[in-house]
């Protein structure tokens, strides 16, 4: 079978145009992975700011110290505390400000602290 160069070029151009159309339509309806199809604010007015999507790492395996060993905290620092059964844990807001979520397990329960 002989393929003529003109047909190959036309086929490649058609494929390229279809790919560009699909990419352009997806880009208009989304921004940073978020669906903006029904957005009430014009897309042009949505500006980037802060870290990119998923740019704030979660803490997946938190390490804990005894209160008298927590020399990285000040007396006035606030914490979120969780008590399940007889186990209590404290999550310093100073650390949560940079991570926003801690995935932890207390006993056999998985929890997310945000």
Report pLDDT digits (tens) over 6-60.
666 666 666 666 655 555 554 567 777 788 888 898 888 888 888 887 888 999 9
Q: Integer distance in angstroms from the first to the last C-alpha of the chain?
A: 64
Q: pLDDT digits over 76-89, tens only?
A: 999 999 999 999 99
d(CA 56, CA 96): 10
pTM: 0.58
> Vertex 16, ends 12 and 22: CA angle to 5°?
145
Give me the pLDDT at residue 83, please.
96
**What pLDDT does residue 23 have?**
54
Q: How far is CA 83 from the centre of its chain?
A: 27
Domain boundaries, given as residue ranges, for the chain: 5-45, 67-113
The alpha carbon of 104 is separated from its chain's Cα centroid by a whole number of angstroms, namely 18
Report CA 108 to chain centroid distance, whole Å. Answer: 26
């Amino acid at each position: 079978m002989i393929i003529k160069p003109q047909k190959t070029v036309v086929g490649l151009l058609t494929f390229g145009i279809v790919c560009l159309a699909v990419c352009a339509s997806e880009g208009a309806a989304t921004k940073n992975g978020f669906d903006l199809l029904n957005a009430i604010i014009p897309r042009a007015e949505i500006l980037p700011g802060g870290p990119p999507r998923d740019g704030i790492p979660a803490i997946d395996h938190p390490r804990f110290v005894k209160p008298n060993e927590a020399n990285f905290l000040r007396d006035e620092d606030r914490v979120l505390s969780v008590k399940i059964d007889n186990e209590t844990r404290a999550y310093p807001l100073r650390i949560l400000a940079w991570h926003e979520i801690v995935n932890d397990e207390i006993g056999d329960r998985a929890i997310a602290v945000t």
